[in-house]
Amino acid sequence: MAASPSIIPFDQRVIVGVADMAVSNNPNVVFTTYSLGSCLGISVHDPVARVGGLLHLMLPDSTIDPAKGIANPAMFVDTAVPALLRAAYQLKAERSRLKVCVAGGAQILDDNNFFNIGRRNHEALLRTLERNGLTIHASAVGGQVNRTMMLRVSDGSVTLRISGSKDEVPLCRS
């Protein structure tokens, strides 16, 4: 009699779009977000509750369009980060155990210009995290590059791929 087939665990790949977010406690889930330029990718992970979430936000401040902030909270730092945290807490994540990683925030060349949305995103994020009692565990922010960010829910490892280089680089190991 032939041996019964073994079940190979597989990754459930979930793409997080621009101005969007997702959380999960399914250990098979691997979140990926593409095209992080001046946008910020923010991952949270609780290793005990085994809950992970990934957010891809675009702009620093929803006061430029409060209705948009309500309709699409994942677009702005001040509405997106609280929404991501709320979703993670609903899945029993706890703030004291949350590991936060950040990538993106690219900038065009030259300082002191009107186009520094990447830097403004990053500054707004630091303020919002501080207000929520959180610090950043690992980050890869700035430069002129375009990044892809991946979070594995099973162990909280975060990897980055930078356009133009072949290898994936770990941002946060499990």
Partner 1 sequence: MQELDAFIDKVKHLPPAPRVLPQLMQLLSSDDADATRVVQLIQYDPGLAANVLRASNTTAFAASRRVADLGEAIFRLGFNTVFQLVVAVSAARSLRPAQKAYGMGEGDLWQHSVTSGVAGRLLARMTGNDENIAFTAGLLHDLGKVIIAQVIEDNSFELIRTLEKEGCSLLEAEKRVLGFHHAELGSRLLERWNFPASVSVAVRFHHMPSAAEPHHRLASIVYLSNFIAYTLGHGYGHNAFAFRSQNTVFSILGLDPKMLEKLVVLTREEFETIETLFQIKA
Sites of contact with partner 1 (CB under 8 A)? 18-19, 34-39, 56, 58-61, 64-65, 68, 75, 106-110, 113-115, 117-118, 143-146, 163-164
- Amino acid of residue 2: A
Nearer to partner 1, 21 or 88 (CB): 21
Nearer to partner 1, 132 or 163 (CB): 163
The DSSP secondary structure of 98-160, one letter per residue, reads: -EEEEEE----SSSS-TT-HHHHHHHHHHHHHHHTT--EEEEEE-SS--EEEEEETTT--EEE
Nearer to partner 1, 37 or 53 (CB): 37
Q: Cα dihedral sign for 29, 99, 117, 84?
A: positive
Q: Give the total residue count for the chain.
A: 174
- In whole angstroms, the minimum distance from the beta carbon of 155 to partner 1 comes to 27
Unique residue bearing structure tokens 């009107």: 114
Q: Are 101 and 40 contacting, i.e. CB atoms less than 8 angstroms apart? A: no
- In whole angstroms, the minimum distance from the beta carbon of 60 to partner 1 comes to 7
Which region, left, alpha or beta, applies to residue 121 given φ > 0 means left and ψ of -120 to 50 means alpha?
Answer: alpha
Nearer to partner 1, 137 or 161 (CB): 161
Nearer to partner 1, 138 or 145 (CB): 145
- In whole angstroms, the minimum distance from the beta carbon of 11 to partner 1 comes to 22
